[in-house]
Amino acid sequence: MNPHLERLQPYPFQKLHALLQGASPNPAFRAINLSIGEPRHATPAFILEAATRALPSVAQYPTTLGQPALRQALADWIARRYALPGIDPQTQVLPVNGSREALFSFAQAVVDPTRPGATVVCPNPFYQIYEGATLLAGATPQFLNLLPENRFALDFEQLPDAVWRRTQLVYMCSPGNPAGNVMSLDEWRRLFELADRYGFVIASDECYSEIYFDALAPPLGALQAAYRLGRHDFRGLVVFSSLSKRSNVPGLRSGFVAGDARILERYLRYRTYHGCAMSPAVQAASLAAWRDESHVEENRRLYRAKFDAVVPLLAEPLGAARPDAGFYLWLRTPFDDVAFARLLYRDYNVTVLPGSYLAREANGLNPGRNFVRVALVAPLEECVEAAERIRRFVAEGRRETAAAR
């Protein structure tokens, strides 16, 4: 077996399952699970209909490159969304089976493990696929802590020059998971400067880009930032996007990668061997989804309503604030995050994810410790009920602490 498999840590939800074993939830409350970032809004009917109409096409093998019509739709969407002049559908965009699959396989294609000290840099907290992809590519992860003191902005000075010299790939996530922070143009400028100096590739995970709150200020994308900074060929940059959150189709497993044509040419060669061509029926559904924005606007409205209702309930007890984008609340806990999650589940039957499960110890701290991630994916009424229970849970803990004194 691949010895690197032994370096993989259990996935956060495996840890959560183990944590909750033996903690019988209070039967007075119905279960509300806000731990997993799985969209639960209804899938638009027109997407399902497009997939159904295309089912006969599964009698043929699809190409890894994807249908020309889908690649054109992807290029058109990128150009509209990010106000870019033209994206070449032949060389600058590829359909993929969801951003997760692509984020993982990209490291296998990019990293050269024969180079001494092969390193991949990730934000911290982070999506654990980055770490797993790094380890199985034969590289070592290094982490940039994202801290609330500076609004989760990237501090590239956390890593010394020696680490940057070994770096081959940098994963970024904007809007971020879990804090919902959006990278600024200045952050991108600094990262591009580092990429030019040290020669690494940037993988920008943008799967939450379409869940935001101000219709006039959508999150800045990496391709958009690159173009504004004169990098019109998107050199050294590949972005990853997905329909899962945007269109409420997590089971469709559909997304795209776009950016530097030279990198994508070689990544396509890898993918032809990887056996990951998108099903024709999924391509048809994806084509319909990327061409429509009205369902995405409605999706944002539903999330906006949940944040409007929940943030005021949790602002005082846990410092809740609306993120820049995404559907998570990143809440500071009054005591250990793991104990908080277990006791909240036991006493109030609400499931949230301990923040320390989403981060690693780096520079002497785990930046997820004493935080929990709350995914506002349930219907509005459930999210509000969960927030009320969390508020009661925190208030009871404060009363018990006061009484103990």
| pLDDT at 256 > cutoff 70 | yes
d(CA 208, CA 210): 6
End-to-end Cα separation, the chain, in angstroms = 55
Query: CA torsion angle for 319, 323, 324, 327 (degrees, to 10)?
Result: 180
Backbone conformation region of residue 373, classed left if phi is above 0, alpha if psi is from -120 to 50, else beta: beta
pLDDT single digits (tens) 17-40:
999 998 999 999 999 999 999 999
d(CA 120, CA 102): 16
Which pLDDT score, from 0 to 100, does residue 401 have? 53
| pLDDT at 399 > cutoff 80 | no
d(CA 181, CA 402): 35
Q: What rounded mean pLDDT belongs to the chain?
A: 96
Which pLDDT score, from 0 to 100, does residue 382 have? 98
| pLDDT at 202 > cutoff 80 | yes
Question: How much is the average pLDDT of 372-393?
Answer: 98
- Structure confidence at residue 247 as a pLDDT band (50, 70, 90): very high
Which pLDDT score, from 0 to 100, does residue 404 have? 45
The full DSSP string for 12-32 is: HHHHHHHHHTT-PPPTTS--E
What's the pTM value of the predicted model, to 2 decimals? 0.96
Query: How many other C-beta atoms lie within 10 A of the C-beta of residue 9?
Result: 13
Task: Collapse the DSSP code of 54 into the 3-class scheme (helix H, G, I; strand E, B; otherwise coil) and give the result.
Answer: coil
Angle in degrees, CA 279, 280, 284, rounded to 5: 120
- Structure confidence at residue 397 as a pLDDT band (50, 70, 90): confident
d(CA 95, CA 298): 25
Which pLDDT score, from 0 to 100, does residue 398 have? 62
Query: CA torsion angle for 238, 244, 250, 254 (degrees, to 10)?
Result: -50
Which pLDDT score, from 0 to 100, does residue 124 have? 98
d(CA 214, CA 204): 22
Higher pLDDT, 2 or 192: 192
Task: Say if strands 255-259 and 93-96 run parallel, antiparallel, or are unpaired.
Answer: antiparallel
d(CA 142, CA 248): 33
| pLDDT at 292 > cutoff 90 | yes
Eight-class DSSP state of 154? -
Which pLDDT score, from 0 to 100, does residue 86 have? 84
Question: How much is the average pLDDT of 287-296?
Answer: 98
Which pLDDT score, from 0 to 100, does residue 275 have? 86
With beta carbons less than 8 A apart as the criterion, state whether 31 and 23 touch: no
Which pLDDT score, from 0 to 100, does residue 400 have? 60
pLDDT single digits (tens) 313-324:
999 999 999 999
pLDDT > 90: percent of the chain? 96
Which pLDDT score, from 0 to 100, does residue 315 have? 97
Domains of the chain: 3-42+295-404 (3.90.1150.10), 56-292 (3.40.640.10)
pLDDT single digits (tens) 119-166:
999 999 999 999 999 999 999 999 999 999 999 999 999 999 999 999
